[in-house]
Chain A
């Protein structure tokens, strides 16, 4: 058998007699056989087949993060600021996401352990529980917003709220019903590609491509001063691309898929392709709602469906329907990925079986957590009179604030030579990762100052 980097600090495990081979192992082995067969062959077709077999976690995590609140944030950005500073800014945030997510893929491939598991083992339960609490709160709030998005998006077509929530939960059940990671991943990938529906919506608005090109090069026009509202939009856009659940999800999915150190190169391509697709959809959404600014429409309190309705006079019923469908798809895919992220993390911490390859009888805890998280969040959305709009606005801000502590653990793990061996992060990756932590922390501090000391915020250049 091949040995990975972790074998050096798990010598007793290699010779243990109590290893139990499970159905999860058998399913993963079948997947690996196909990967080995594709790798053994030469030729361009075999290279593409190998790539096809190995892509998944990176694309899913990036398109999964283009979720309900993220698309609403991008829509709000386009409607309030039009074409300008925020287009290159959003692309920059996806570059940050690539830096961060590459580390999780590398960690998962090298250690075959999930992120929660590694934090608990390496740093102890004290810090492990802090990370789990951050993840649980963030995931649950985000899940609520996914169902808000699904409800609002399907509401555009006249679907009643209860039916929208039930259909989302049915979709969740269908996605995991085969108890096979491969099927789950491919089903979800097929749905996730519909995130690009925002691109044709953008084309229907006939964007000024000269302005788009100019914005990409010059980062102008600027938002017109740094007000607290502008800052919240900036934080929401950052939170729309880098959040704690992504770290846990991609590492767990990498492990569940069975990627090894040989697959790291193609895992990087998977992550970059995912970021490119997600950035395209994000920029498409900003371009799609930019005409609302030109037509002086106030979009401050818009939720998903209102954006579609406001766009209808400009791009017609078909375009507006596409926009609403895009919001539904964003919510549906993210509700599955985020529930899975919670279930993986719970299983890793509770030392219970945690894999989408588990038959129902062996994975009762895993599937129960997955369904319960989603069902509870869906039920909350149906409670009348709750101020859901605040949850939508703040969930991405909370995600940005929770990122620096999560990133420091990721940074330390990715540089831990005992578990990573020669696969520790290179210096340039550490410089980029440190820059991301500093940037996110400063953005959070600036937000804090704008709330509790507005005068100082003005002194610092805000308004």
Chain B
């Protein structure tokens, strides 16, 4: 892998060796452009996150109402 890697112009070969010896592959900034595969959400998971999303939206309305009544 090391011989094929591209490096920034100001990074020396010793820096390159240091990086490849010290970091795990996924730690390299360049590898982070690769997306992690998406996972399928199960029915119960969808139900829970939708319920909590609705809960949050509703509670935000309650907070805005609370602020409005306090300001009045």
Contacts and interface: CB of A to CB of B under 8 A. Distances in A.
Interface string B30-72: 1111111111010001001100110110111011011100110
A21 B19 contact: yes
Nearest to A9: B37
Given A4-B26, A404-B55, A21 B36 contact: no
Interface of A: 1-4, 6-7, 9-10, 12-26, 28-30, 32-33, 36, 111-113, 117-118, 121-124, 127, 130, 134, 258, 260, 351, 353, 355, 387, 390, 394, 397-398, 401-402, 404-405, 408-409, 412, 416, 418-419, 441, 444-445, 447-448, 451-452
Given A1-B23, A21-B7, 17 more contacts: A1-B1, A2-B24, A10-B26, A12-B34, A19-B28, A20-B8, A20-B30, A21-B30, A26-B15, A29-B22, A30-B18, A123-B41, A401-B60, A404-B52, A447-B59, A447-B62, A448-B59
A448 B64 CA distance: 11
A118 B25 contact: no
B24 to A, nearest CB: 5
29 contacts: A1-B21, A1-B25, A2-B24, A3-B24, A4-B25, A10-B26, A13-B31, A18-B6, A19-B6, A20-B30, A21-B5, A21-B8, A22-B29, A25-B19, A29-B18, A29-B19, A29-B23, A36-B22, A112-B26, A113-B26, A113-B36, A121-B35, A130-B53, A258-B27, A405-B53, A418-B39, A441-B55, A447-B62, A452-B65
Nearest to A398: B63
B33 to A, nearest CB: 6
Given A9-B36, A19-B28, A404 B56 contact: yes
B27 A10 contact: no
Interface string B1-13: 1001111101100
- Most A CB within 10 A of own CB, among B1, B8, B65: B8
A20 B29 CA distance: 8
A444 B63 CA distance: 10
Contacts of B65: 451-452
Q: Which 3 A-B pairs have the closest CB atoms?
A: A121-B36, A20-B30, A29-B22
A451 B66 CA distance: 7
A177 to B, nearest CB: 20
Contacts of B63: 394, 397-398, 401
B19 A387 contact: no
A214 B8 CA distance: 62
A21 B11 contact: yes
Interface of B: 1, 4-8, 10-11, 15-16, 18-39, 41, 45, 48-49, 52-53, 55-56, 58-60, 62-63, 65-67, 70-71
Contacts, number: 174
Contact of A21 (B28, B39, B66): B28
Contacts of B39: 122-123, 416, 418
B25 A14 contact: yes
Contacts of A134: 56
A18 B26 contact: no
A419 B49 CA distance: 20
A408 B58 CA distance: 18
A232 to B, nearest CB: 9
B8 A23 contact: yes
Contacts of A15: 1
A301 B11 CA distance: 57
B4 to A, nearest CB: 5
Contact of B27 (A112, A118, A390, A402): A112
B58 A448 contact: yes
A25 to B, nearest CB: 5
Given A121-B35, A123-B38, A405-B49, A353 B27 contact: no
B28 A25 contact: yes
B56 to A, nearest CB: 5
Contact of B56 (A19, A20, A124, A405): A405
A32 B19 CA distance: 9
B19 A26 contact: yes
Contacts of B33: 351
Contact of A390 (B16, B20, B59, B67): B67
A15 B48 CA distance: 38
Contacts of B60: 398, 401
B16 to A, nearest CB: 6
Nearest to B34: A13
A7 B25 contact: yes
Given A3-B25, A6-B26, A12-B34, A17 B4 contact: yes
